[in-house]
Amino acid sequence: MCETAAMTSEPITAAAAGTWKLGDLTVNRVGFGAMRLTGSAAFHHGTPSDRDRSIAVLRRAIELGVNHIDTAAFYFSPLRSANELINRALSPYADDLVIATKVGPFRDYSGEWGTSARPEDLRGHVEENLRQLGRDHLDVVYLRRMRQDSIAEHFGALAGLRDAGLIRHLGISSVETRHLAEAQAIAPVVAVQNQYGLDSPDPEADAVLRACGEQGIAFVPFFAIAGQGGALGPSGATDDEVLAVARAHGATPAQVRLAWTLQQGPHVLAIPGTGNPDHLTENVAAGALRLTDEEMARLDALHTRGQ
């Protein structure tokens, strides 16, 4: 547990990291990613999660002040769906709860990935999320780019669904700075979700993060803890610099990675995911961890070392 948690018997809440606005929706900067709720391998044929435990984790996240949940209809494993777990655990939803989902990729019921969606397919993706979540509109919908050179046609289709009242705000995911400019010319973008983390050096991701900050757009990194391990989770290897900073704060390496990510700018949101209630508490507490300028410089050097 990080040093800030040791100062008080009360658990640290998501409010400790401060807030940001997704359009007109205020969220705490530490949120929750739902992918890992479904089991040992959300995108593979892993062991299904314990349903009651996953529901308990979601409810505990809300108790800890999380009001921003990131999910998708394609987050499922045998016998489990992240959206349906969210519905079961949290419906009827609190007025201040923001649920963001993403469309573009899709999987059939056997779990196999389909080809990239056509623009006309996106309404079906949005409606599937609405059905599973039990909502009549979606707060934020990201268009997840699937290697398209241009996202204009797909993003334009989502903008039409926003105009129809099915979507409140729009985001984009897995994009470059040119895609952000392309989308902004069609409709306002409130958030960009890219893979980004201390262990994932990528000059283009750094450029997108800066562009979002300049334009007042939220930057929402995924795999901030897992790094290059991605959907399979952390590799288990931890750099000596991360360990040293963690020891100095009485924190875990995962908390240091989250704190470093959040300190990249006030517009950066974290959506760490877990099906473990202890890890949930630690992830939320990372929002209260403040790294020194010297520690940030050391970790920044580690981040750019592989570029």
By annotation, the residues acting in catalysis are: 75
Supply φ then ψ for residue 302, to 5 degrees. Answer: -65, -40
Partnered with residue 77 across adjacent β-strands are: 80
- C-alpha 269/C-alpha 289 separation (Å) is 14
Helices 51-63, 277-285: axis angle to 10 degrees equals 20
- DSSP assignment string, 198-220: TTB--HHHHHHHHHHHHHT-EE-
- C-alpha 156/C-alpha 147 separation (Å) is 17
- C-alpha 140/C-alpha 233 separation (Å) is 25
Extract the tokens encoding 219: 């930057």
DSSP 8-state code for residue 176? -
Strands (E), the chain: 19-22, 25-28, 32-33, 68-70, 76-77, 80-81, 98-103, 138-144, 167-173, 189-193, 218-219
Query: Do residues 14 and 64 touch, judged by C-beta distance below 8 A?
Result: yes
